[in-house]
Amino acid sequence: GEDVEQSLFLSVREGDSSVINCTYTDSSSTYLYWYKQEPGAGLQLLTYIFSNMDMKQDQRLTVLLNKKDKHLSLRIADTQTGDSAIYFCACGSSNTGKLIFGQGTTLQVKP
């Protein structure tokens, strides 16, 4: 089946930039998402990108998409302690609400 892979852990210092990477196998994915999960909570959509785009910027967040390599990244500028959470990459290819999620990357922000 289709697969989405992420590294499991990233640690950065407050004020630095964080880059979380994701690779996927489904070349037909039309939507690629980044979700944030804080402890004990559900998933919150951070941002998403359509497959016909290669970059999307939203305040401190920058999403880069390399369709050729099937690689997605999320850059968080000026990372704050409140950004500490698990970040999930997800891909979807049809309007069914079916998403394939990565394992999640735990972001630790040290003061």
Residues at the contact surface with other proteins, assessed by CB under 8 A: 1, 4, 6, 8, 31, 33, 40-45, 48, 88, 90, 92, 94-104
Q: Based on CB atoms, which residue is closest to other proteins, 14 or 100? A: 100
Report DSSP state, residue 97: S
Q: How far is the CB of 1 from other proteins (least distance, A)?
A: 7
Q: Based on CB atoms, which residue is closest to other proteins, 64 or 101? A: 101
- Residue 57's CB is within 10 A of a number of other CB atoms, namely 12
Distance CA 97, CA 111 (A): 37
Q: How far is the CB of 68 from other proteins (least distance, A)?
A: 22
3-state helix, strand, coil in the chain (%, to 5): 5, 55, 40
